[in-house]
Amino acid sequence: MITGRIIRGVGGLYFIDTEEGVFKCKARGIFRKKRIIPTVGDYVEITILDKTQRTGFIEKINERKNFLIRPKVANIDICIITFAAKSPSINFDLLDRFLILSEEKNLDVIICINKYDLIEEDIEQYIKRVYSPVYKVIFTDTINNNGIDKLKILIKDKVSVIAGPSGAGKSSIINRIISSETRKTGEISRKIERGKHTTREVELLSAGEKTFIVDSPGFTSVSVEHLNPVELQFFFREFKDFLKKCKFNDCLHLQEPDCSIRNNIGDKISEERYKRYEFLYNELIQKRK
């Protein structure tokens, strides 16, 4: 058996990237019986049926480290949360919801602010003040190629999914990344859909050896409804250092005295992010009533 990774699935046929190249495989019936659906990103063991035709069978699916539903993909390392600096302008509520979900799934995060060519000074300062101390933030522009090399370094040897609203420039960024990589290796570049089309098919796109990137459709909203209000605090990364320092163990950082989170507002915790926490906490409580 050889080990590989599912990079694409079309109508029950899976494309497996292995050290010996790509094989087209079907899954053994046992998976259907057990109701396990092979998913793009899965590490699998395959047996070869025909070496010249490059066909085989998926025999085993290794345990997943995580699993995303939209796009449906497994074993993701990084979420590149992408917003346009302008047109459309940044919805910070949506950005924070993406951050919460990424934390929940234990993904590493890169905040990518694209269309840097259009950015306004106050927006740039705002992002640098509120987000840069907490997350990796990069500014890109796919017209002059600013920041793309930096992004490539950050995603090297990892599998990343690019998420964000429609029109942010996700597909443009991916095309920039994969076209420079394919040029290097002499492969034929596979331009992915862009513009008005939605990005439906889930695929691990090669962005260099051992590096993959997955495009996703534009999200107009992100639901955090499934979260327990009490656990929301754990998904604000900048809270982490202070959570154990509140006077009460079960502090929710709302009105309690001697709250370490509230004591650090304006210092290690920005007012804007704290307000978002408060807002989302109340929203989650309302939903439960």
Ligand X SMILES: Nc1nc2c(ncn2[C@@H]2O[C@H](COP(=O)(O)OP(=O)(O)O)[C@@H](O)[C@H]2O)c(=O)[nH]1
Task: Pick the binder of Zn ion from 79, 174, 251, 284 (CB under 5 A).
Answer: 251
Is 115 an interacting residue with respect to ligand X (CB under 6 A)?
yes
Please report the beta strands in the chain, taking only residues with DSSP state E, as ranges in sequence order: 2-10, 13-18, 21-27, 43-50, 55-61, 67-68, 73-74, 78-84, 108-114, 136-139, 159-163, 205-206, 212-214
Which pairing describes strands 43-50 and 55-61: parallel, antiparallel, or unpaired? antiparallel
Task: Pick the binder of ligand X from 2, 48, 49, 118 (CB under 6 A).
Answer: 118
Binding residues for ligand X, rule CB under 6 A, total 17
Provide, rounded to whole angstroms, the least separation between the CB of residue 215 and Mg ion: 6
Distances (CA, A) of 75 to 7, 51, 72, 244: 12, 28, 11, 31
Q: Which does 141 bind (CB under 5 to 8 A by kind): Zn ion, ligand X, Mg ion, none?
A: ligand X
Do 146 and 116 meet the contact criterion of CB atoms below 8 Å apart?
Answer: yes
Is 84 an interacting residue with respect to Zn ion (CB under 5 A)?
no
Is 97 an interacting residue with respect to Zn ion (CB under 5 A)?
no
Q: Which does 251 bind (CB under 5 to 8 A by kind): ligand X, Mg ion, Zn ion, none?
A: Zn ion
Contacts of 256 (CB under 8 A, 6+ apart): 246, 247, 248
- 218 vs 229 by CB, closer to ligand X: 218
CA–CA separation, 107 and 100 (whole Å)? 10
Residues in 188-207 that interact with Mg ion by CB under 5 A: 199
Residues in 170-189 that interact with Mg ion by CB under 5 A: 170-171
Count CA atoms closer than 13 A to 26's CA, side-chain side: 8
Provide, rounded to whole angstroms, the least separation between the CB of residue 175 and ligand X: 8
Binding residues for Mg ion, rule CB under 5 A, total 3
Is 232 an interacting residue with respect to Zn ion (CB under 5 A)?
no
Residues binding ligand X (CB under 6 A): 114-115, 117-118, 141-143, 166-172, 194-195, 218
